Structure 1
Amino acid sequence: MNTPVPSVRRRRGALTLLAAAAMLALAGCKGGDLVSYDLPAKSARYTFEAQTNDVKTVWQYTSAKATKDDAPKLSPCIGELVGSNQAACRPEPLIFLRYDFGLALDNTVKAGTDHEVTVVGYYQPRLADLPKVTSLEAETTFDGGRTWHPAATKATGKNTFTTTIRNPRRDQAPGGVGLRISATDNQGNTVRQTIPMAYTLR
């Protein structure tokens, strides 16, 4: 499962969201809209939230005004696309999450078994060195998010983690299994993503 997210860039102290229509819908925007807001030039801590369907993602990160361009040609800045603004820009250090749920062809997992889910943290492309995801915690819910249970997690590669979910009996999770992931990188940036129903049991 890949969770779509809006593309985030800084230009002249503004955090600008640019994405395809489906991605912009995450930020509550109509297709084709560009959303921006002013931020102080001084380094500060920010929170950014997005929600699509029932999946909620909350980022916390530290950023400051860009002093030089740090964006690849394949990921151009807003000004290069819609105007002549040539101010320095770069992607914000948001941690995005990609999942391999290892589901059967009918998108289910066998009840009453331990099941492994792989989670990969990644960032928007940039020229400078990217942060490294240093820790990841997982929680599961079998009652639609009313209660959460920690799930064992281990690092299995660069920015890659495996969490083991102990699936209950099918009647103990009639609405499916939910997952909540919290990750942190070596710059102190964090993400928490809540998926109320990651998969169903058979």
Structure 2
Amino acid sequence: MTDMGMEGAPMNAAAPSSRRRKVKLVVSAALAMLALVGCKADVIAYDLPAESARYSFRAETDGVKTVWGYTSERPTKADTPTSQPCLADVVVKEPGPCRPEPLIFLRYDFGLGLDNTAPAEEAHPVTVTGYYQDRLGTPPTVTRLRAEASFDGGKTWKPVTTTAGGKNTFTARITHPSRDRASGGVALRISATDSAGNTVEQTIPQAYRLR
């Protein structure tokens, strides 16, 4: 059994889907229970076929859309510390081996001013860091990140130059237009791939505004 930890991910996520998947979901009204035992909340746990297959998971909250692609299979041994058990360990009797899925999560440093804006008509750096659930025993490494920016509400997208920094960290340098040409703010679309072939694409309809 595997579980979908929601480390910063949207909470109204749809269940994973795949052409080869037979999934038994454990529905989580158990968030309150997990909070009582001091665990980070997992919202979905499910059984997988024994063979490895490709899966996708989509989520959206407050307009931010995230799509994960990852390879997974039925775990043969547990890979979760006792301090942060899988949801299934809490709500299912004898769930069998359980481990987190290898989802790439994204953390942003927009480098904004005190008014949460960035200067117009300048090149502006945004730092993006990929990370995984703490419980994942040996996480992959994020090897590639692609960034796009939109100044017209997502109607058109422009590629943004990115450079690799520290581990799993990249800097996107966005050239801002004048403020009147981005009246709705700056939208970002970030795509990342790791060394295991897992992917994530996250679209933020309004990351920040210009001043």
TM-score (norm 1): 0.85
Partner of 1:186: 195
| Deviation per residue, 1:90-110 (Å, 9 max, x gap) | 110100000000111111011
Q: Percent identity?
A: 57
Q: How far apart are the structure 1 equivalents of 2:28 and 2:74?
A: 27
Partner of 2:151: 142
Partner of 2:87: 78
CA RMSD of aligned residues (A): 2.3
Count of aligned pairs between the two proteins: 188
Q: Are residues 1:43 and 2:62 paired?
A: no
Q: Is the Cα–Cα contact under 8 Å of residues 3 and 86 in structure 2 kept in the other structure?
A: no
Pick aligned residue for 2:170 from 158, 161, 177? 161
| Deviation per residue, 1:61-94 (Å, 9 max, x gap) | 0001000111123321123322432511111010
Aligned counterparts, 1:75-114, within 5 A = 75-114=84-123
Q: Are residues 1:25 and 2:17 paired?
A: no
- Residues 158 and 79 of structure 1, relative CA distance in 2, 3 Å threshold: same
Q: How far apart are the structure 1 equivalents of 2:189 and 2:6?
A: 25
List alignment gaps of at least 5 residues for structure 2. Answer: 16-26, 32-42
Partner of 2:40: none
Aligned counterparts, 1:1-20, within 5 A = 11=1, 15-17=2-4
Q: How far apart are the structure 2 equivalents of 1:96 and 1:146?
A: 25
Give the superposition deviation at 1:142. Answer: 0.2
- Residues 91 and 38 of structure 1, relative CA distance in 2, 3 Å threshold: closer
Q: How far apart are the structure 2 equivalents of 1:167 and 1:113?
A: 5
Give the superposition deviation at 1:17. Answer: 4.3
Q: How far apart are the structure 2 equivalents of 1:58 and 1:111?
A: 30
Q: How far apart are the structure 1 equivalents of 2:116 and 2:160?
A: 21
Partner of 1:152: 161
Q: How far apart are the structure 2 equivalents of 1:82 and 1:31?
A: 10
Q: Are residues 1:129 and 2:135 paired?
A: no
TM-score (norm 2): 0.81
Partner of 2:183: 174
Between Structure 1 and Structure 2, the one with more strand by share is: 1
Q: How far apart are the structure 2 equivalents of 1:104 and 1:31?
A: 39
* SS of residue in 2 equivalent to 1:25: coil
- Residues 18 and 157 of structure 1, relative CA distance in 2, 3 Å threshold: closer
| Deviation per residue, 1:15-53 (Å, 9 max, x gap) | 544669x95334499965754555322100001000001
